[in-house]
Amino acid sequence: MSRPKKPAENGFTFIETLAAMGFILIAFASLIPLYMAVSNYTLKNRAKSQASNIASREMERIRNLSYDKVGVVNGNPNGTLQADKEETEANGLIYHIETRVWWVDDSFDGTAAQGTDSMPNDYKKAQVSVMKSGTTEVLAQISSNVARESEESPSNGGNILTQVLKPDGVTPIEGVSIQITTGPSSPQVGWTDNLGNCIFAELQPSQIDGDYSLTATKSGYVVRPDQEILTTTVVFGQTRNLTFIMDAPGHLIINLRDPGGNIIDKQSKVTLTNPDSGSNNYNSSNGIFDFINLFPGSYDIMADAAAYNPTTSPVTATVTAGQTTTIDITLQPTPSGHLHLEVFDYSTNGRLGVCDVKLTNQTTGDIIDVQTNSSGILEIDLEVAYYTMDITASGYTPYTDTINITASGNTNYNAYLQGYATVGSILVRTETRSHNPRNGVWVRVTGTGYDVSKQTGSYAAGEALFDSLPPGDYRVYRWGGSGWRFPRNVTVTAGNQSSVIYSY
């Protein structure tokens, strides 16, 4: 007899449920990047839309200004607009608004660049760029020409036309800030257009030759070293042309190494020579030189370091825009000698304790600051050279001398320092009216804790010396037959001798 079958149970097992949940999670995870991308795209489009509205609003405000007011404050053209400002929208986003206004030198009546137009300010071009605050990505940009309301008026001054190009002398650089820093019409600011041009029109004529100075700056660029400041003379009715050459900076690292390849961790110097910048000296305390904003080009390098021979011929480095160039220069150590110094007290001949010693290399000017040990002794290896040695110690007068350190030799030197004076003296002289000395006259000196009498002639003819007196105020007397008379007040200072003369 067969057992009846159990009815089948419908549903999922626990393992099947876990597997299904895993697939669902994987599916959701794959959608997250897509969601983030869509969200970022939406936010960026919203920001662009807001930026476009801001740019349109700003440009409409410019169009509603009178012609004379279309320009930035202290700009050329001058006007009432702010070159840079921030604006916060209702959703909390902060935007940076950049306003630029240029003169346009239209070719219909000739151009200043060709020397055929003495009035290059034909009309104006205004441009508004909007970006998120703290960023450089332009979200919206609108430009518009602004024409005069009447015919071009006669020139009311002179002009400067600046052009900014890359080193090829052809490629223009837009958005360079040109500053007039000196001159009768300074300060003024302008920016280069898409042709690399910036026109300063109707400037007051120069009072002296070359009194107008101009500079060029743009983030991410450096100007050729010989053009950091350009000068010119403005003449009524004429246009002066100036050209700046700019490029992205290069990065140069110079490492000074010993023959073993180790960095020379000493005072060191390099000289960079370039046709445009000339020769410039730079110092380092560790043999490493890092130049982060060099104008691209070829540089000749001469190197020197303490206790090493300088290079005898230049090492050439080529600096490339936007790239890092590393140069290792190996220096050979110079011959050295040894100094054994002992410092003594001049009066006692006993060695002093710790003294400060400064050794100045008379050839290189390098300074070494060291100290003697507690026994007044210094042992040191030095580069072969003549040195100025300065020794100082508390309570002693400074000591200076010149020493010669010879190759592979030992220089032994004993220095004797004199202590600062701590006492003074009083010299008393008695004499006739014809200045002949009087001997055997009793004189007396009194002071705080001091009262001593002596006869003149005890020190020299007609003189008595009261020495080893602490600084202070004293009174001098002469015996007058019936007692101490004729008082004189004397102030004693350390290291000095005061005199009192009795003539009778």
Q: How confident is the model at residue 79, as a pLDDT?
A: 92
**Distance between CA atoms of residues 203 and 239, nearest Å:** 10
Tell me whether strands 497-503 and 424-431 are parallel, antiparallel or unpaired.
parallel
Is residue 311 within 8 A of residue 330, CB to CB? The reply is: no
The torsion angles phi and psi of 51, rounded to 5 degrees, stand at -65, -40
Q: Which residues contact 405 (CB under 8 A, 6 or more apart)?
A: 336, 337, 338, 339, 382, 383, 384, 385, 386, 387, 411
Is residue 376 within 8 A of residue 305, CB to CB? The reply is: no
Q: How confident is the model at residue 244, as a pLDDT?
A: 98
What is the Rg, in whole angstroms, of the alpha carbon atoms belonging to the chain?
A: 43
Q: Which residues pair with 145 in a beta bridge?
A: 125
DSSP codes joined into one string, 113-158: TTT--S----EEEEEEEEEETT----SEEEEEEE--SSSPPPP-SE
Nearest to 402 by CA among 339, 486, 470, 491: 339
DSSP codes joined into one string, 209-242: TT-EEEEEE-TT-EE-GGGSSEEE---TT-EEEE
Is residue 316 within 8 A of residue 325, CB to CB? The reply is: no
Q: How far is CA 6 from the centre of its chain?
A: 94
**Distance between CA atoms of residues 256 and 245, nearest Å:** 32
What are the distances in angstroms from CA 456 to CA 423, 465, 470, 496, 501? Answer: 22, 8, 22, 20, 11
For residue 29, the surrounding DSSP H or E stretch is: helix 14-63
Tell me whether strands 472-479 and 288-294 are parallel, antiparallel or unpaired.
unpaired
**Distance between CA atoms of residues 392 and 386, nearest Å:** 20
Q: How confident is the model at residue 1, as a pLDDT?
A: 47
Per-residue pLDDT tens listing for the chain (504 residues): 455 555 555 555 767 677 777 777 776 666 667 556 655 656 677 888 888 899 999 999 999 999 999 999 999 899 999 999 999 887 888 999 999 999 998 888 778 777 777 788 889 999 999 999 988 899 999 999 998 876 666 667 899 999 999 999 999 999 999 999 999 999 999 999 999 999 999 999 999 999 999 999 999 999 999 999 999 999 998 999 999 999 999 999 999 999 999 999 988 999 999 998 899 999 999 999 999 999 999 999 999 998 888 999 999 999 999 999 999 999 999 888 999 999 999 989 999 999 999 999 998 888 999 999 999 999 999 988 999 999 999 989 999 999 999 987 889 999 999 988 889 999 999 999 999 999 999 999 999 999 999 999 999 999 999 999 999 999 999 998 889 999 999 999 998 999 999 999
Q: How confident is the model at residue 37, as a pLDDT?
A: 61
Q: Which domains does the chain have, with CATH numbers?
A: 60-147+156-247 (2.60.40.10), 250-330 (2.60.40.10), 336-417 (2.60.40.10), 424-503 (2.60.40.10)
Q: Is the peptide bond before 275 cis (omega within 30 degrees of 0)?
A: no
Nearest to 155 by CA among 95, 76, 239, 71: 239
DSSP codes joined into one string, 147-209: --SSSPPPP-SEEEEEEEE-TTSS-B--S-EEEEEESTT-SEEEE--TTSEEEEEEEPPPSST
Nearest to 359 by CA among 387, 398, 381, 400: 387
Q: How many residues does the chain have?
A: 504
Nearest to 410 by CA among 334, 335, 337, 336: 337
Q: Which residues pair with 400 in a beta bridge?
A: 390
Q: How far is CA 468 from the centre of its chain?
A: 54
Position 371, amino acid: Q
Is residue 207 within 8 A of residue 184, CB to CB? The reply is: yes
Is residue 307 within 8 A of residue 266, CB to CB? The reply is: yes
**Total Cβ atoms within 10 A of residue 352:** 24
**Total Cβ atoms within 10 A of residue 2:** 4
351: which 2 tokens? 């060695």
**Total Cβ atoms within 10 A of residue 223:** 20
